[in-house]
Amino acid sequence: MRIQWFPGHMTKAFRMMQEQLAQVDCIIYVLDSRAVFSCLNPKFDALTGKKPVLYVLNKCDLVERADVEKWLRYFEERGEKCVAADSLNGKQRDNIVSILKQLNAAVIEKYRLKGANKSVRAMVVGVPNTGKSTFINNLCGARKTVTGNKAGVTRGKQWVSLGGGVELLDTPGSLPPAFEDEKRALNLAFIGSVKDDVLDIEELAAEMISYFSKNHTDAFLKRYSIEEIPHDIEERFLVVAKSRGFMLSGGRVDYTRTARAVIDDFRKQRFGKIMLDLPEEL
């Protein structure tokens, strides 16, 4: 399945981020815990440059804690600062403020010696639908940015004050201009970082069923009360459609409804807490 989605507003978003780079002290790089590696956008490397970076494994409540710990160790071993966050609560606020001040200790001290207080300004980046805006709102304890459980909600820059001497710049989610790795592209489509409207939803579901034929197979079988996942793609849709009651007259499969059900079941953890990327697979 060939996935490509890079609308004009993403080009504008990158340009805006580059223009704002001189105004920030560090970067907060928000990653969806379900697909950590896939959420790393090579184009953001130019943005981070020599700026300190705090990686945030967001939506960590959607995956197993043991798998999150693997990624925390992965970043730690590379000398990178990384925290896990549940975007549904703001309990990590004090910890994140503390880490941001540690990362920017040198510049804070420089201003202190001049008799001035320095607010840390952080740019929040990530691919679409990683929960950046919700993450910021929960840290602030108020709805200060526009949010939505789909790709492409944030379109412009938004500065908000986190308090404690920290300001955050929310930015639009942006994907790489081109995908060189099909697996990463599929993972982003699975978690909703690519708009469903630009995808062949039936083909995407076929790819997802193929994933479950090799991974977490028992969870898929249990969900649809079937004994095996057939090899033939039409048979695969047939067994799921029969299980969910998505058959049309004449014994025909409602492919679109069946496809959307499979994708929705994954996104709502009905197969369990599944992480698509694991560091040992790199």
Are 50 and 21 in contact by the 8 Å Cβ rule? The answer is no
pLDDT value, residue 9: 77
Within a domain: residue 39? yes
What's the mean per-residue pLDDT of the chain?
A: 90
Whether residues 229 and 163 fall in one domain: no
List 84's β-bridge partners, or say none: 57
Are 257 and 202 in contact by the 8 Å Cβ rule? The answer is no
Number of independent structural domains in the chain: 2
Whether residues 53 and 163 fall in one domain: yes
Whether residues 212 and 132 fall in one domain: no
| Average of per-residue pLDDT across 221-249 | 98
Residue pLDDT, tens place only, 119-131: 999 999 999 999 9
pLDDT value, residue 154: 45
Residue pLDDT, tens place only, 65-117: 999 999 999 999 999 999 999 866 667 888 899 999 999 999 999 998 999 98
Q: What CA–CA distance (Å, rounded) separates 243 from 239?
A: 6
Within a domain: residue 175? no
More confident residue, 143 or 197: 197
pLDDT value, residue 148: 45
pLDDT value, residue 196: 93
Q: Are strands 166-170 and 158-161 parallel, antiparallel or unpaired?
A: antiparallel
Alpha carbon distance, N-terminus to C-terminus of the chain? 21
Tokens, residue 238: 């047939």
What is each CA distance from 76 to 99, 201, 254, in whole angstroms? 14, 37, 47
Whether residues 226 and 104 fall in one domain: no
Residue pLDDT, tens place only, 144-190: 654 444 444 444 567 888 888 899 999 988 888 778 889 999 999 99
From 121, 148, 170, give the residue that closes a domain: 170
Measure the CA angle with vertex 150, ends 94 and 56; round to 5°.
Answer: 30
Q: For residue 232, give the CATH number of its domain.
A: 1.10.1580.10
Whether residues 153 and 41 fall in one domain: yes
Residue pLDDT, tens place only, 177-211: 778 889 999 999 999 999 999 999 999 999 999 99
Q: Give percent of the chain with pLDDT exceeding 70.
A: 92
Please tell me whether residue 124 adopts helix, strand or coil conformation.
Answer: strand
- What's the domain range around 125? 8-170
Whether residues 137 and 216 fall in one domain: no
Are 111 and 157 in contact by the 8 Å Cβ rule? The answer is no
Q: What CA–CA distance (Å, rounded) separates 263 from 254?
A: 15
Q: For residue 129, give the CATH number of its domain.
A: 3.40.50.300
The total number of residues written for the chain in this structure: 282
Within a domain: residue 176? no
For the chain, the farthest-separated pair of C-alpha atoms sits apart, in whole angstroms, at: 80
Whether residues 212 and 125 fall in one domain: no
Q: What CA–CA distance (Å, rounded) separates 153 from 30?
A: 15
Our measurement of the distance from residue 277's CA atom to the centroid of its chain's CA atoms, rounded to an integer in Å, reads: 12
In the predicted structure, residue 230 carries a pLDDT above the cut 70: yes
Band of pLDDT at residue 7, cut at 50, 70 and 90? low
Please tell me whether residue 64 adopts helix, strand or coil conformation.
Answer: coil
Within a domain: residue 1? no
Q: What CA–CA distance (Å, rounded) separates 267 from 219?
A: 14
Whether residues 100 and 147 fall in one domain: yes
Whether residues 138 and 276 fall in one domain: no
